[in-house]
A = this chain, B = another copy of it.
Amino acid sequence: MSEKRVFVFNPGPAALPLPVLQQTQEEMLNFRGTGMSILEVSHRSQEFEEVLNSAVERIKRLLGLDERFHVLFMQGGASLQFAMIPMNCADNKKPVAYVDTGYWATRAIKEAQNIVDDVAVVASSKDKNYIYIPKNIVLEKDFSYLHITANNTIKGTQWWKFPETGNIPLVADMSSDIFSRVFDPNPFGIIYAGAQKNAGPAGVTIAIVREDMLERVPQNLPTMLKYSTFVESNSLYNTPPCFAVYVVELVTRWLEETIGGIAKMEEINNKKARLIYDYIDSQDFYKNPVQPEDRSWMNVIFTLPSLELESSFIKEATQEGLIGLKGHRSVGGCRASLYNAVTLEAVEVLVDFMKEFVRRNG
């Protein structure tokens, strides 16, 4: 096993497309004829600016973003965005609104409560341990924004119809489902995503900021905590995480040129998700607790009849080269993360392994 590649179902950092890894490897000592590694190239060089600008353009094309949207490369992960959103976007005394869909959404809410006085949790699925996505959300006040977590990696839920908020900007953490499916970006004031699930390696955060949101940025914020700093400098106020941006460019190139865009990616992701959910629904050894219409295509959670069986399942899967199937430490159980770079073949191998495991242990 030490000689061959495994099937990676990690929740993040996660699988990357093999051709992306191969190109990274090939160019490591000599980046496109410069005689330098991409790790050594100046962030002020033409070569690097081409990489950065190409990544921006590809992201705009993939998501269908018009000229109002700025694509930024930041650091600190979604967790820093949890603070930056209320710092930058709480619109002069208007309260901010959040939907609580568990763990990461809850963390975003806690961070906002530390920064602004009036944080309204306008909907929550806590009553049923977050196994569903709240529907028919009505906003009764004029909020600064409504924050949602588009896909919930730990609870295995995903928003399939975003709330209708009229003039109130949506703000979304899309760390775990950006680039995985087609959606209309126009209602979103801010979309942010740690890259390490669907977009690249850990170490860079993509933030997509709509022009009108910049008017809210308080002038006295620290320079590195203002979205406007990144907009004005094309993410080059200081040294960006160059290597991570470079890999994001390769991933978005792969999405455009090899996969053929987000609609095609969505088809593949649909096939992958159907394969495993259909199997889970066809038997009663493995169980998925999520309300069917809210199931995540990115993170499929399931339990086995006992903790002992779960433990053997994960152990044997690992021996077979199926990696990362343990559920989050906060919930236990099993979880298969099926991000874009996880192939249909990998999911077929996983489902075959699940069937085989039942035959031996069911």
Residues of A that sit less than 8 Å from B by CB: 1-6, 8, 10-16, 18, 21-22, 24-25, 28-30, 33-37, 39-44, 75-80, 82-83, 87, 111, 114-115, 194, 196, 201-204, 220, 222-225, 237-244, 247, 321, 323-324, 329
Shortest Cβ distance from residue A353 to the other chain B in the assembled complex, whole angstroms: 16
- Contact (Cβ within 8 A) B36 A115: no
Cβ of B241 and Cβ of A202 under 8 Å apart?
yes
Structural contact, A36 and B8, CB atoms closer than 8 A: yes
Bound CA span A78–B224, Å: 10
Determine if B42 and A83 form an interchain contact, defined as CB atoms under 8 angstroms apart.
no
Interface centre among A3, A87, A239, A247 (most CB of B within 10 A): A239
| Chain A interface helix/strand/loop/mixed | loop
A241 to B77, CA, bound (A): 9
Kindly list chain B residues whose C-beta atoms are within 8 Å of the C-beta of A10: 36, 40-42
Contact with A76, one of B87, B224, B323 (Cβ below 8 angstroms): B224
Q: Is the CB of A21 within 8 A of B13?
A: no
A204 to B240: give the CA distance in the assembly, Å: 10
Known: A16-B37, A243-B244. 20 other contacts (CB 8 A): A10-B41, A12-B42, A13-B242, A21-B37, A25-B29, A34-B323, A39-B202, A75-B75, A75-B241, A79-B224, A82-B223, A82-B224, A83-B224, A111-B222, A115-B222, A201-B243, A202-B239, A203-B240, A203-B242, A241-B241
Nearest CB in chain B to that of A20: its residue: B39
- Please name all residues of chain B whose beta carbon is closer than 8 Å to the beta carbon of A204 when the two chains form the complex: 203
Say yes or no: A222-B83 contact (C-beta < 8 A), given A22-B29, A203-B242, A242-B202: yes
* Chain B residue nearest to A34 in the complex (CB): B6
Number of copies: 2
Q: 4 tightest A-B contacts by CB? A: A203-B241, A83-B222, A6-B35, A75-B75
A35 in complex: contacting residue of B2, B80, B114, CB < 8 Å: B2
Closest to A341 in B: B40
Residues of chain B contacted by A196 (CB below 8 angstroms): 239
Residues of the B chain whose Cβ atoms lie less than 8 Å from the Cβ of A77: 75, 224, 238-239
B-side contacts of A202, CB under 8 Å: 39, 43, 239-243
**Partner of A203 from B15, B42, B75, B115 at Cβ < 8 Å:** B75
Minimal Cβ-Cβ distance residue in B for A12: B239
B201 touches A39 (CB 8 A): yes
How far does the Cβ of A79 sit from chain B's closest Cβ, in whole Å?
Answer: 4
Q: How far is the CA of A78 from the CA of B77 in the complex (A)?
A: 17
Give chain B residues whose Cβ lies under 8 Å from the Cβ of A16: 37, 39-40
Q: Are A223 and B13 in contact (CB under 8 A)?
A: no
Is A11's CB under 8 angstroms from B201's CB?
no
A83 to B83, CA, bound (A): 15
Residue of B at shortest CB range from A25?
B28
B12 close to A222 (CB less than 8 A): no
Closest to A196 in B: B239
Q: A21-B28, A203-B203, A222-B115 are contacts. A239–B80 as well, Cβ < 8 Å?
A: no
Cβ–Cβ < 8 Å partners of A1 in chain B: 33, 35
Q: Can you list 8 A-B pairs, Cβ within 8 angstroms, ordered by A?
A: A3-B30, A16-B37, A34-B323, A75-B80, A79-B238, A82-B223, A111-B222, A241-B241
